[in-house]
Amino acid sequence: MEQTDLLRELELEKARLENRKLTSEIDELNRAWWKRAGYLGSVVPIIIAIVGFLTALMTGFFDTRQVNLENDIAKLESEKARIEEQTDDLRTAVNDAYLRLKIAVSEYGYAANHIRVCGQIPNDVIDSVDRSAGIFPQLGEYADQLLDCIDTVHLLIPLVAEEYTRTQTIVDLIPVEDSLKELKPVRGYPSLLQANDDRVYDLDTSRFFDNIQAYEILRQSEE
């Protein structure tokens, strides 16, 4: 009897153990796959390895990006310096061309005024030349040439004046500093201009000279 009861107890205990095992297996199956102990145990090393790899990769990526960015900045700064240098060279060339053109226009204006003054020959003088040709036939050819020259000058006067005005307008439109616009050409010296403070600017040396230095330059140019 006792032996039979013992066997029953053992059978019951065995059944309970199997039941608990089955229940545990069912619970494990019902648990989300990422919560299972086996999965977590196997995936953690992989996650650690991936995180380490990504960290190293991103560090290298940003280091590379930083180097590339620094190189781009250096290139832009170099390009900026080159453009600024070209701009300075261009500005210098424009200023020089403006001043030389200003001198040329001044000389042109002087010549135009000279033509205008010389061309203002009184009509009685012209009539006198014409009469002289009639009185002295040997002077006829020269008188005709002189009268032709006078007619040519009369035709040139308005054309020269118009061209001078047009050229002066173009010069005034050139974008330069006001200090350059104030410079006035020195008559008879094709490379010198005078400032309002009496300093003299020399185009050949691109320098300003004070009164004494300017006097020496003018004196030497006359020798």
3-class SS string, 111-171: HHHHHHHHHCCCHHHHHHHHHHHHHCHHHHHHHHHHHHHHHHHHHHHHHHHHHHHHHHHHH
pLDDT for the residue 60? 63
pLDDT for the residue 172? 85
pTM above 0.75, yes or no: no
Give tens-digit pLDDT for 181-211: 888 888 777 788 888 888 888 888 888 887 6
Q: Which residues have C-beta within 8 Å of that of residue 157, sequence separation ≥ 6?
A: 115, 116, 119
Q: How confident is the model at residue 28 (pLDDT cuts 50, 70, 90)?
A: low
pLDDT for the residue 209? 82
Give tens-digit pLDDT for 118-174: 656 666 666 666 666 566 566 566 666 766 777 777 777 788 788 888 888 888 888
